[in-house]
């Protein structure tokens, strides 16, 4: 669609146009002049954004049904959002990942930070899994996918329609194979010497969490000869890395039987199955039970789901993180290590660290904070958008 034919949306005179000019990518509904025409825009429609003095600021994607009314796509108001535009974005993202990783297993597109707001693309060799979590990406999915194939050469593209973000945009949860044929078995992915089995069609999110890769690697350094407990393990993220790092034994705890089966398959593929065990159950219940059993581990790592996915859930989420820290710290042997992680957007590093330290203290333990980790470089942070730096990992010596 040519910019000259796009509708115009305008900032209110008192809206913070400077923040947008300096890179902030979102325009909220209360920052716009809204009338019947703007409210009648189709979710996902493109428009030209003007400031309060009618100066053009760029091409935006709109969704009148979302709190985030506009997402900045291109600061050139004459930009044409077509397959060629997508190819430029993908080529730029691919160039960085190809420099960083020897094998094509990584997050290729990390939403706003890679210039495609609300879009996530994880690559598993010849397969790409796309999460179009914003209405505009769903609307332009055909040229997006065509560009993805043209730039990367992948033979299969899968759309994953699950997730809270799509619901907030008023989108369905349908998933589909868009190009080629989906793998008929989990895909093995080697990271930090461990083998992970990724279910690309039936697993959580896109099938595997690439973001913890550097934190898995750091944790593995602590685990040579250690007894390791990995809670909220999913497909064995920290436990399999620990075994690759020389752990004596590792126990993975998760509520999903399917995830634990994939973890066991990964352990078998890496030849470490005899040192690996799983325990299915609610993480809080299992942590409590292990304490009652007198269990003790040299390294305990907890990587829970987002307990504070929004500001309204922040206080409840912080209490949950504190409880995890308390229960987990009680299981760490003297001189051992405790790793605590959060993927909550709403809980910033300071709040998460505070909740973790309170929990450790409530367990009667003293701690040294030895490392603070974040997502890997295939999950770049957009400096103007704090939400893009969601992952925090704290490692303590108790």
Please name the residue ranges forming H helices in the chain. Answer: 17-21, 36-39, 83-100, 135-139, 141-152, 164-168, 213-221, 237-244, 257-269, 283-292, 314-329, 349-362
Q: How confident is the model at residue 249 (pLDDT cuts 50, 70, 90)?
A: very high
Residue 217 pLDDT > 70: yes
Residue percentage of the chain with pLDDT more than 90: 88
Q: How far apart are CA 88 and CA 115, in angstroms?
A: 10
Within a domain: 185: no
Query: Both 213 and 322 in a single domain?
Result: yes
Q: What is the pLDDT of residues 305-341, one digit of tens each?
A: 999 988 899 999 999 999 999 999 999 999 999 999 9
Check pLDDT > 80 for residue 3. Answer: no
Instruction: Report the alpha-carbon distance of residue 251 to residue 191 in Å, rounded.
Output: 19
Residue 4's pLDDT band (boundaries 50, 70, 90)?
low
Does residue 352 fall inside a structural domain? yes
Do 70 and 87 fall into the same domain?
no
Q: What is the CATH number of the domain that holds 110?
A: 3.30.750.80
Task: For residues 267 and 217, state if they share a domain.
Answer: yes
Residue after which a domain boundary falls, among 74, 98, 122: 74
Of 142-146, 196-200, 206-210, 237-241, give the lowest mean pLDDT range: 206-210
- Does residue 324 belong to any structural domain of this protein? yes
What confidence category does residue 203 fall into, taking pLDDT thresholds of 50, 70 and 90? confident
User: What's the pLDDT at 16?
Assistant: 87
Distance CA 327, CA 177 (A): 42
CA 169 to chain CA mean position, Å = 18
> Annotated active-site positions, please?
343
Residue 1 has pLDDT above 50, yes or no: no
More confident residue, 346 or 268: 268
**Mean pLDDT for all residues in the chain:** 95
Q: Which residues are CB-contacts of 63 (< 8 A; sequence separation ≥ 6)?
A: 43, 44, 69, 134, 135, 136, 169, 170
Which range of residues forms the domain containing residue 20?
3-74
Calculate the CA 168 to chain-centre distance: 17
Indicate yes or no: pTM above 0.85.
Answer: yes
348 pLDDT higher than 90: yes
Cα 190–chain centre separation: 19
32 pLDDT exceeds 80? yes
Number of domains observed in the structure of the chain: 3
Q: Are residues 90 and 119 in the same domain?
A: yes
Q: Is residue 184 part of a domain?
A: no
Q: At 165, is the pLDDT very low, low, confident or very high (cuts 50, 70, 90)?
A: confident
Encode pLDDT of 54-76 as tens digits. Answer: 999 999 999 999 999 999 999 99
Query: Is the confidence at residue 262, as pLDDT, over 60?
Result: yes
Q: What's the rounded mean pLDDT across residues 272-298?
A: 98
């Amino acid at each position: 669609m040519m910019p000259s034919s796009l509708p115009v949306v305008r900032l209110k005179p008192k809206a913070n146009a400077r923040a947008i000019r300096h890179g902030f990518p979102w325009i909220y509904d209360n920052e716009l002049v809204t009338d019947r025409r703007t409210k009648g825009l189709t979710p996902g429609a493109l428009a030209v954004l003007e400031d309060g003095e009618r100066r053009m600021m760029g091409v935006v994607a709109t969704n009148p049904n979302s709190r985030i009314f506009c997402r900045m796509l291109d600061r050139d108001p004459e930009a044409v959002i077509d397959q060629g535009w997508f190819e430029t974005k993908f080529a730029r993202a691919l160039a960085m990942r190809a420099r960083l990783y020897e094998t094509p297993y990584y997050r290729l597109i990390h939403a706003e930070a890679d210039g495609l707001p609300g879009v996530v693309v994880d690559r598993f060799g010849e397969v790409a899994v796309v999460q179009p979590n914003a209405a505009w990406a769903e609307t332009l999915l055909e040229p997006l996918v065509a560009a993805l194939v043209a730039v990367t050469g992948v033979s299969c593209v899968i759309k994953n329609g699950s997730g809270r973000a799509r619901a907030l945009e008023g989108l369905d949860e349908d998933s589909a194979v868009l190009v080629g044929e989906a793998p008929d078995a989990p895909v093995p992915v080697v990271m930090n010497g461990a083998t992970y089995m990724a279910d690309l069609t039936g697993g959580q999110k896109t099938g595997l969490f690439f973001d913890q890769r550097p934190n898995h690697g750091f944790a593995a350094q602590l685990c040579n000869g250690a007894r390791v407990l990995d809670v909220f393990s999913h497909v064995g993220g920290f436990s399999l890395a620990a075994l690759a790092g020389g752990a004596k034994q590792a126990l993975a705890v998760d509520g999903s039987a399917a995830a634990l089966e994939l973890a066991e398959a990964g352990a078998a593929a890496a030849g470490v199955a005899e040192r690996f065990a799983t325990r299915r159950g609610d993480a809080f219940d299992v942590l409590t039970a292990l304490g009652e059993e007198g269990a003790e581990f040299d390294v305990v790592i907890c990587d829970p789901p987002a307990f504070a996915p929004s500001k309204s859930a922040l206080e409840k989420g912080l209490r949950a993180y504190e409880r995890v820290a308390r229960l987990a710290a009680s299981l760490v042997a003297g001189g051992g290590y405790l790793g605590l992680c959060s993927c909550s957007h709403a809980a910033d590093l300071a709040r998460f660290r505070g909740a973790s330290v309170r929990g450790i203290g409530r367990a009667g333990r003293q701690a040294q904070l030895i490392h603070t980790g974040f997502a890997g470089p295939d999950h770049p942070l957009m400096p103007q958008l704090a939400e893009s730096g969601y992952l925090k990992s704290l490692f303590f010596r108790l």
